[in-house]
Structure 1
Amino acid sequence: MAPTVPAFVELASPFDWRTVDFISDLHLQAADSATSAAWQQYMQSTAASAVFILGDLFEVWVGDDAALNAPANPGEAPGFEALCADVLREATQRLRVFFMHGNRDFLVGTQFLDACHVTLLADPTVLAFAGQRWLLTHGDALCLDDLDYMAFRRQVRGTDWQRDFLAKPLLERRAIARAIRDQSEARKRSGVSYGDVDTPAARQWLQAAQAAALIHGHTHKPADHDLGAGLARVVLSDWDLVATPPRAEVLRLTATGPFAGRLQRVALA
């Protein structure tokens, strides 16, 4: 598949930002309380001026009503999605939070984000910070060799599919999402290899964006890749607090101090 160069949205950081953090692929879900607790602790304690969530914050998202609607029964505790909304809402009282859609939570809508005071980030976006330009993406759009996924992505990102899906009752949407997730997990267990980011396409995006570093998640393969000609691809870590060893990492960028303009991996677990 030939690489395509998208239109880049540009975000210039305010002059008073000193530190920005990048995270992705937490795959938050009610069944994984350890990762959810670590994320909540991080959001409450980070000293960053801004946090950029580059997709797949949630394991699955079936519509904003799952988080924003009141419990069906009087006295019933808020659901998992509503509790996550509370964490975001609290964090945005003291720092900027940006959210980019991933392949699991592409249905997160403006109703939810506005309620949490979180800014939707286009994919891709060029961030101007610390005197440099950084190209941000979730990463799935660059996995060109995974033809099955790319076809699925085109389908579910379409307006018609999303309208039809969101029109279904919430319980039905949850059931469909579980079935899709089960298929994905079965594919992993069968040993099917998922495609990685296409290197020529990554270079082409960076050159078009006039950026030296591409920051992304999605692949769950944290690493720093030298693409040549002064270009680099930096892959975020996923989070899994029950893994051995546990994984919970932030990619941090500062504008001042000894590490100014240099990406640092900060382990939280």
Structure 2
Amino acid sequence: MTTLFIADLHLDDSRPHITELFERYLASDDVRRADALYILGDLVEAWIGDDDDAELPRRIAHASRALRDSGVPVYFMVGNRDFILGEDFAARAGFTLLDDGTVHNLYGRPTLLMHGDVLCTDDVAYQTVRKQVRTPEWKANIMAMPLAARRAFAAKARQDSRAHTGSTMETIMDVNASAVAEAMRHAGVDRLIHGHTHRPAVHDLTLDGKPAERIVLGDWYEHGSVLKVTPEGSRLEGLS
């Protein structure tokens, strides 16, 4: 019995080998034998809408739907790069959409699942932008734009993101320990799984005097990264 977690693939036409790795992985025996696959956000570098007619969304939907049709549930949680992905694409891809901050019981252990960006509370500039772009009005304005204009907007947003990342201290862009503790305390769990920071690791914590665990998923910029959770425990593995 194994449940799989991935995040921060940032699939993009500029890195076709990673898209191919994603397709091979979803078609592999390792995944086809799993109890479930969870994708915790930032599946793509930029999502411009469920009506995107480019090849990449079609390939993603085909690979994911084939996995779901083989009997493996595919759960998806939006990240900061694909937060306007909606029910139309989810239906095509066979995704079961999850809210950020969902708690799922994994082999008897309730586990908090998050993308992770909301935990980076020290990055005030990012949190301000995040709040602005998550409003229904902002999303409606974006979706009213032609596809070509949305592609141009997404390209500019990626440039701005790289500039912000390059000029901000890494410690500011990491999760805030108090925010982590509060999220876990509010959810009533002793294990959190998230992505976003691209710093794969298993962190042992003490929460209200009791042992707890925070697991950070790796990104897929150079190679793949997966978390395997079993009744006996969990481990992070690389893919190539």
Distance 2:59 2:105 in 1: 32
Distance 1:206 1:141, change over 3 A: same
SS in 2 for 1:92: helix
Partner-residue secondary structure (3-state), 1:56: coil
Q: Is the 8 A contact 1:27 1:60 kept in 2?
A: yes
In 2, Cα distance between the equivalents of 1:122 and 1:190? 31
1:152 corresponding residue in structure 2 = 129
Provide the residue aligned with 2:40 in structure 1: 54
Contact kept in structure 1, 2:195 and 2:216, CA below 8 Å: yes
For residue 237 of structure 1, the aligned residue among 206, 218, 221 is 218
Query: Which of 172, 192, 195 is the equivalent residue of 1:214?
Result: 192
Shift, 1:192, TM fit: 4.7
Aligned: 1:113 with 2:84: no
Counterpart position of 1:127: 104
The C-alpha deviation readout for 1:95-145, integer Å capped at 9, x for no partner, is 100100000000111000012221001111111021111110000011101
Q: Per-residue deviation at 1:190?
A: 4.0
**Partner of residue 9, structure 1:** none
**Alignment gaps of 5+ in structure 1:** 1-17, 68-77, 242-246
Deviation at 1:188, TM superposition (A): 3.1
Given the alignment of the two structures, is residue 177 of structure 1 paired with residue 158 of structure 2, yes or no? no
Q: Answer yes or no: is the 8 Å Cα contact 1:199–1:227 preserved in 2.
A: no
- The CA deviation at 1:30 is 1.2
Match of 1:200 in 2: 178
TM-score (norm 2): 0.92
CA distance in structure 2 between the aligned counterparts of 1:226 and 1:200, rounded to whole angstroms: 15
Give SS of 1:66's match.
Answer: coil
Distance 2:196 2:98 in 1: 16
SS in structure 1 of the partner of residue 52 of structure 2: helix
- Percent of aligned pairs sharing the same letter: 39
Question: Which residue of 58, 81, 88 maps to 1:82?
Answer: 58
- Which shifted more, 210-219 or 220-229? 220-229
TM-score by length of 1: 0.83
The 1-side partners of 2:165 and 2:124 are apart by 16
1:161 aligns with 2:141: no
Match of 2:17 in 1: 34
Question: Is the Cα contact below 8 Å between 2:115 and 2:195 reproduced in 1?
Answer: yes
Q: In 2, distance between residues paired with 1:251 and 1:101?
A: 18
Deviates more, 1:104-113 or 1:223-232: 223-232
Which residue of the partner structure matches residue 239 of structure 2? Answer: 268
**Tell me, which stretches of 5 or more residues in structure 2 are unaligned?**
none
Offset, 1:226: 2.1
Which amino acid is the alignment partner of residue 264 of structure 1? R
Q: 2:11 corresponds to which letter in structure 1? A: L
* Residue identity matched to 2:67: A
Residues 180-227 of structure 1 show CA distances to partners (whole Å, capped at 9, x for unaligned) of 101111233446545211111211221222211110000011112222
